[in-house]
């Protein structure tokens, strides 16, 4: 992220500032968490420990990037947990016992994910069915399809081609592929959302659908694109899941959809759309994953993990609300001041009555 | 077409356009031509169809009949994007901004300046926005988010958005309503520049002096129908007002003469910052007092503040000589106030709930009966009471357990009235009591209000329906831009005198 260079005023962009602040505060929380845990148990920060956290966070963060695209447009995709499972299983089934490479696996996985995204997107954008209901429906349908295909079987790591397993466990210069892929995707999507007109339209739609309509923004096409992109990333995540674990049962990522939504919201993406970044969402995913590892290291019962994620979520949204109110207040005051002071004469300002003729 | 029509076809025109929303005919046979280099005024009362015309030009609505013509050729705008493509820029009455995006992004959404590879050039975008604000003489920061802008600043952003389009046609729906005099002057300067560059402009304002200052031609609408299009030169404000209202006064409004009793509602120096200022008046028992004015004058807001829905910043409300203790609608109800709100469907009723339940909502404490686990609602008492009210108000229904949503508008309004009359109020405030109600039921509502006043109820009636105001009210209070500007006794109230006060015409003489 390059700092933007525009400087018509020295105030800087308050929108960006607030967003940065959010990403910064998650980062600080993350650092604190790591430091404290390391003080208690120095082995936490071992190379293996760090690598594990990044590996584990990669798939969640990838899904969080996709979910961000959807949530920013004031929608939601609950089907990702099922989709990633379906993809992992079907692709695993397809490549088992063959010598197919990574490319085939990725293409197949992405195609399945895109198909699921397309169905969600068409129902939400063209039939105008609420996203919560549509994706809850596809969540169950995809889950059912997965169980039907699996029929009690599972994919065995031994049968998966080593090229594909290498994707999940190999590295380049000591850095594993998985986080590299996630970071690359995150940077790409983040740059697109920020720098391209069509990217900004995702925010516009979520910020005010009515204003977007009047501004001629192609709402349906953008929402459809958000779902398809979300589906593609879920498909990619499914392939990575297969590559990382090798052994896959039916519907392996059950419950992940809510974890992804939690990561996105903790990461500062407003659930009502219009605000947030993929960087924040990815950081949110990293934070949630790290908490999981910390609990293990501190020997706290992992049942607590869910409760802690919940608390984090409540904390995040409460903080958002307080900050939003504060910012609005400050802005209103500043605007009032800005308007009265430099205006040369013309009497006192009355907000509604324009009776100064 | 008259002889003055220039040989070049109008840049944008509506020809014989009709548009209906459900049963309501919003526009009927409207023809409106916008010529290059001309500022055309559109005038008419509230609900005359002005905003529907704006949205038709903007591509939001498609006409049911007739056609839109661009440079003389028929054209169909499939949506706002098509209209924008054709060079039409619109400033809507209500600002439509993206609160989470920066002011600069709001202005240039969908057509941001690009660098190579199609990326947004933020520097150029913010510089262009800053230049627009300089032109408009408003010191706004292009990088700040739109959230938190005052209504006036939001309107400025809307204006900047429209101007930046370099449009061939500029439609302005009440752009000045929230602006100060200086900002209006700047807007006019910019408008004239655009005009001299050959832009065709449609200007809507309730302030007649602005119309005379800026425009060359005027089209007047009444009840969705085209009345006249003519040059403004030679017309006076009175002429405009007469053409806007000029309808037959029917004898549908039977207010009985009552000798007013004691003061039931006393409002003194009521103020809500930025909404209305220093509003004082009294309503006596047996009186119907109308609160007239244009949409946005602050009438409903006054009613909401009296009833405690909105906070009041200053001033006092007394019912039967006693100040209201406590805040909120509950305190107002305890003091003897009742409010029949403006929007029946959203505020007056719970549409999916049954008739009896809706009527019972205001009197839940009275419907309690002892149960083993504490007080329960008595459905029998609820039903009996509802039946009583239904008979009194001659409600037309099949079952009291039917959802109110299935009733006609008029009968729904009766349910709202019953709900509030059941609280046995001293003062009844009705906001637009007959909006969207058929003529027959309308006169029933009028008869009912008159009868209630006859029984010593004090009635404050907000209405945009001038014949209704003139027929029903003992006194007419007129609001203009958040202030009470006139009090007109029944004998002197005419459409002209009320409209003149509502459009701020007599302000100079009286104040």
Is B173 a residue whose pLDDT tops 50?
yes
CB B68 within 8 A of CB B52: no
B:270-289 residues touching chain A, CB 8 A cutoff? 273-275, 277
CB contact under 8 A, B98 and A274: yes
Which residue is listed with tokens 């169905």?
Answer: A119
pLDDT band at B62; cut points 50, 70, 90? very high
Tell me which architecture the domain covering A14-332 has in CATH.
Orthogonal Bundle (1.10)
Q: Which helix (H) or strand (E) holds A263?
A: helix A256-266
Q: Is the ipTM of this complex over 0.85?
A: no
pLDDT band at B66; cut points 50, 70, 90? very high
Quick: pLDDT tens for B84-111. Answer: 989 999 998 778 899 889 999 999 998 8
- Give the pLDDT score at A4: 41
**Does residue B178 sit at the A interface (CB-CB below 8 Å)?**
yes
Is A282 a residue whose pLDDT tops 90?
yes
Quick count: other Cβ atoms within 10 Å of Cβ A45? 15
- Give the pLDDT score at A121: 96
CB B428 within 8 A of CB B235: no
- Give the pLDDT score at B402: 87
Distance CA A123, CA A141 (A): 14
Quick: pLDDT tens for B226-237. Answer: 988 999 988 888
Quick: pLDDT tens for B122-164. Answer: 999 999 999 999 888 888 889 988 887 777 788 889 889 988 8
Exposed, middle or buried: residue B381 (CB in 10 Å: 0-12, 13-18, 19+)? middle
Q: What chain B residue is nearest to A213 in terms of C-alpha separation?
A: B80
Domains of chain B from N-terminus onward: 12-97+149-245 (3.40.50.300), 248-336+425-511 (3.40.50.300), 344-424 (no CATH)
- Give the pLDDT score at B509: 41
**Does residue B122 sit at the A interface (CB-CB below 8 Å)?**
yes
Question: Among A10-14, A117-121, A124-128, which stretch is predicted with the lowest mean pLDDT?
Answer: A10-14
Quick: pLDDT tens for A32-66. Answer: 988 988 898 888 888 888 888 899 899 999 999 99
- Give the pLDDT score at A147: 95
CB contact under 8 A, A355 and B181: yes
**Two structure tokens written together for A334:** 């500043």
**Does residue B364 sit at the A interface (CB-CB below 8 Å)?**
no
CB contact under 8 A, B98 and A212: yes
Number of helices (H) and strands (E) in chain B: give both, helices first: 17, 22
Q: Which helix (H) or strand (E) holds A66?
A: helix A47-72
- Give the pLDDT score at A190: 95
Quick count: other Cβ atoms within 10 Å of Cβ B475? 20
CB B179 within 8 A of CB B186: no
More confident residue, A305 or B70: B70
Distance CA B144, CA A14 (A): 6
Distance CA A166, CA A158 (A): 13
What is the DSSP annotation of B482-501?
A: TEEEEEEEGGG--HHHHHHH
What is the DSSP annotation of A102-126?
A: HHHHHHHHHHHHHHHHHHHHIIIII
Q: Flag whether the pTM goes above 0.80.
A: no
Chain A residues lying within 8 Å of B184, measured CB to CB: 354, 357
**Does residue A57 sit at the B interface (CB-CB below 8 Å)?**
no
Write the CA distances from A198 to A189, A232, A234, A310, B109, integer angstroms.
12, 18, 22, 34, 9
CB B121 within 8 A of CB B115: yes
Is A12 a residue whose pLDDT tops 50?
no
Calculate mean pLDDT across residues A203-232. Answer: 94
Chain B residues lying within 8 Å of A276, measured CB to CB: none
Write the CA distances from B189 to B141, B197, B214, B470, integer angstroms.
22, 13, 10, 40
Exposed, middle or buried: residue A192 (CB in 10 Å: 0-12, 13-18, 19+)? middle
Is A346 a residue whose pLDDT tops 50?
no
A:276-315 residues touching chain B, CB 8 A cutoff? none
Q: Is B202 left (phi over 0), alpha (psi -120 to 50) or beta?
A: beta
Exposed, middle or buried: residue A31 (CB in 10 Å: 0-12, 13-18, 19+)? exposed
**Does residue A271 sit at the B interface (CB-CB below 8 Å)?**
no
Is A323 a residue whose pLDDT tops 90?
no
Distance CA A83, CA A234 (A): 6
DSSP code at position B249: P
Question: Among A149-153, B252-256, B411-415, which stretch is predicted with the lowest mean pLDDT?
Answer: B252-256
More confident residue, A346 or A54: A54
Is B323 a residue whose pLDDT tops 60?
yes
pLDDT band at B428; cut points 50, 70, 90? very high
Number of helices (H) and strands (E) in chain A: give both, helices first: 13, 2
B:82-101 residues touching chain A, CB 8 A cutoff? 84, 90, 92, 96-101
**Does residue A6 sit at the B interface (CB-CB below 8 Å)?**
yes
What is the DSSP annotation of A293-342?
A: HHHHHTT--TTHHHHHHHHHHHHHHHHHHHHHHHHHHHHHHHHHHHHHSS
CB contact under 8 A, B150 and A356: no
**Does residue A267 sit at the B interface (CB-CB below 8 Å)?**
no
A:70-129 residues touching chain B, CB 8 A cutoff? none
Is B25 a residue whose pLDDT tops 80?
no
Half-sphere exposure of B269 (CA within 13 A, CB side): 3
**Does residue B131 sit at the A interface (CB-CB below 8 Å)?**
no
Nearest to B470 by CA among B449, B498, B444: B498
Name the H helices within B246-374.
299-306, 328-335, 355-360
Q: What chain B residue is nearest to A273 in terms of C-alpha separation?
A: B100
Closest CB to A4: pick one of B97, B118, B122: B122
Residue burial B341-360, b: 16+ Cβ < 10 Å; e: rest: bbebeeebbeeeebbbbbbb
Is B214 a residue whose pLDDT tops 70?
yes
Q: Is B36 left (phi over 0), alpha (psi -120 to 50) or beta?
A: beta
pLDDT band at A7; cut points 50, 70, 90? very low
B289 beta partners: B460, B475
Distance CA B221, CA B47 (A): 10
Quick count: other Cβ atoms within 10 Å of Cβ B371? 10
Question: What are the residue boundaries of the structural domains of chain A, listed by start?
Answer: 14-332
Residue spans of beta strands (DSSP E) within B60-197: 65-70, 73-75, 88-91, 169-173
pLDDT band at B24; cut points 50, 70, 90? low
Chain B residues lying within 8 Å of A340, measured CB to CB: none
CB B127 within 8 A of CB A313: no
Name the H helices within B424-494.
439-454, 466-472
Q: Which helix (H) or strand (E) holds B198?
A: none
CB B287 within 8 A of CB B458: yes
CB contact under 8 A, B148 and A332: yes
CB A263 within 8 A of CB A57: no
- Give the pLDDT score at A353: 35
Write the CA distances from B126 to B87, B134, B146, B289, integer angstroms.
23, 12, 14, 52
Three-state DSSP state, A72: helix
CB A212 within 8 A of CB A201: yes
């Amino acid at each position: 992220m390059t700092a933007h260079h525009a400087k018509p005023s020295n105030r800087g962009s308050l929108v960006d500032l607030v967003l940065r602040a959010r990403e910064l505060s998650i980062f600080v929380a993350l650092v604190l968490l790591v430091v404290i845990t390391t003080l208690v148990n120095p082995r936490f920060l071992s190379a293996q420990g760090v690598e594990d956290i990044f590996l584990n966070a990669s798939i969640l963060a990838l899904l969080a990037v996709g979910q961000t695209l959807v949530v920013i447009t004031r929608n939601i995709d609950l089907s990702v947990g099922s989709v990633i499972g379906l993809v992992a299983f079907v692709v695993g089934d397809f490549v088992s016992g063959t010598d197919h490479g990574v490319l085939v696996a990725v293409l197949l996985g992405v195609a399945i994910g895109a198909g699921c995204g397309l169905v969600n997107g068409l129902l939400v954008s063209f039939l105008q069915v609420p996203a919560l209901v549509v994706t809850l429906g596809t969540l169950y349908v995809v889950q059912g399809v997965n169980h039907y295909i699996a029929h009690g079987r599972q994919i065995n790591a031994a049968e998966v081609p080593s090229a594909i397993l290498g994707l999940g466990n190999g590295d380049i210069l000591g850095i594993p592929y998985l986080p590299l892929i996630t970071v690359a995707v995150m940077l790409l999507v983040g740059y697109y959302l920020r720098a391209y007109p069509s990217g900004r339209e995702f925010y516009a739609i979520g910020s005010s659908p009515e204003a977007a309509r009047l501004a001629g923004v192609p709402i349906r096409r953008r929402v459809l694109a958000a779902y398809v992109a979300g589906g593609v990333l879920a498909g990619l995540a499914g392939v990575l899941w297969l590559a990382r674990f090798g052994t896959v049962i039916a519907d392996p990522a059950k419950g992940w959809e809510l974890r992804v939504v939690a990561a996105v919201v903790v990461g500062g993406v407003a659930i009502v759309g219009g605000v947030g970044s993929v960087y924040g969402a990815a950081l949110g995913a990293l934070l949630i994953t790290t908490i999981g590892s910390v609990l293990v290291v501190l020997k706290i019962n992992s049942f607590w993990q869910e409760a802690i994620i919940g608390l984090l979520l409540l904390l995040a949204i409460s903080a958002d609300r307080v900050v939003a109110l504060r910012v609005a207040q400050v802005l209103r005051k500043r605007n009032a001041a800005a308007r009265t002071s430099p205006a040369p004469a013309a009497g006192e300002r009355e907000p509604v009555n324009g009776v100064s003729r | 077409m008259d002889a003055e029509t220039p040989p070049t076809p109008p840049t944008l025109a509506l020809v014989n356009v009709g548009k209906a929303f459900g049963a309501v005919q919003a526009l009927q046979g409207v023809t409106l031509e916008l010529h290059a280099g001309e500022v055309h005024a559109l005038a008419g009362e509230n609900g005359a169809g002005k905003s529907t015309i704006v949205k038709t030009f903007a591509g939001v609505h498609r006409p049911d009949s007739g056609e839109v013509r661009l440079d003389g050729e028929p054209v169909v705008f499939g949506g706002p994007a098509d209209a924008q493509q054709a060079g039409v820029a619109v400033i809507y009455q209500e600002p439509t901004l993206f609160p989470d995006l920066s002011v600069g992004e709001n202005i240039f959404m969908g057509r941001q300046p690009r660098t190579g590879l199609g990326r947004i050039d933020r520097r150029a975008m913010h510089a262009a926005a800053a230049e627009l604000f300089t032109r408009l003489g408003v010191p706004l920061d292009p990088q700040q988010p739109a959230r938190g802008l005052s209504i006036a600043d939001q309107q400025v952003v809307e204006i900047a958005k429209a101007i930046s389009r370099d449009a061939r046609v500029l439609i302005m729906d009440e752009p000045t309503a929230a602006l100060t005099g200086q900002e209006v002057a700047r807007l006019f300067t910019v408008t004239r520049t655009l005009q001299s560059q050959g832009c065709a402009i449609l200007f809507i304002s309730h302030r007649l002096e602005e119309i005379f200052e800026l425009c060359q031609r005027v089209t007047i609408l009444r009840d969705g129908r085209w009345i006249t299009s003519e040059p403004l030169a030679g017309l006076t404000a009175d002429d405009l007002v007469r053409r806007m209202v000029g309808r037959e006064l029917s004898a549908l409004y039977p207010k009985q003469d009552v000798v007013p009793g004691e003061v039931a509602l006393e409002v003194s120096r009521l103020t809500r910052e930025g909404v209305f200022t220093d509003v004082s008046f009294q309503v006596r028992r047996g009186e119907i007092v109308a609160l007239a004015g244009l949409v946005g004058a602050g009438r409903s807001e006054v009613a909401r503040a009296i009833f405690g829905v909105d906070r009041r910043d200053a001033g006092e409300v007394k019912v039967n000589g006693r100040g209201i203790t406590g805040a909120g609608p509950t305190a107002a109800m305890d003091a003897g106030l009742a409010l029949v709100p403006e929007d029946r469907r959203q505020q007056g009723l719970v549409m999916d709930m049954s008739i009896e339940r809706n009527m019972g909502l205001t009197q839940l404490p009275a419907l309690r009966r002892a149960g083993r686990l504490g007080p329960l609602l008595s459905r029998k008492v609820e039903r009996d009471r509802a039946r009583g009210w239904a008979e009194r108000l001659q409600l037309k229904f099949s079952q009291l357990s039917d959802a109110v949503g299935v009733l006609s508008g008029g009968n729904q309004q009766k349910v709202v009235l019953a709900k509030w009359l059941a609280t046995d109020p001293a003062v009844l405030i009705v906001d637009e009591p007959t909006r969207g109600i058929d003529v027959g039921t309308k006169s029933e509502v009028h008869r009912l209000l008159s009868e209630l006043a006859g029984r010593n109820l004090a009635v404050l009636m907000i209405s945009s329906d001038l014949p209704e105001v003139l027929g029903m009210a003992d006194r007419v209070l007129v609001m203009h831009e958040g202030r009470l500007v006139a009090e007109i006794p029944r004998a002197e109230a005419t459409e002209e005198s009320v409209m003149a006060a509502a459009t701020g015409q007599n302000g100079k003489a009286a104040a």
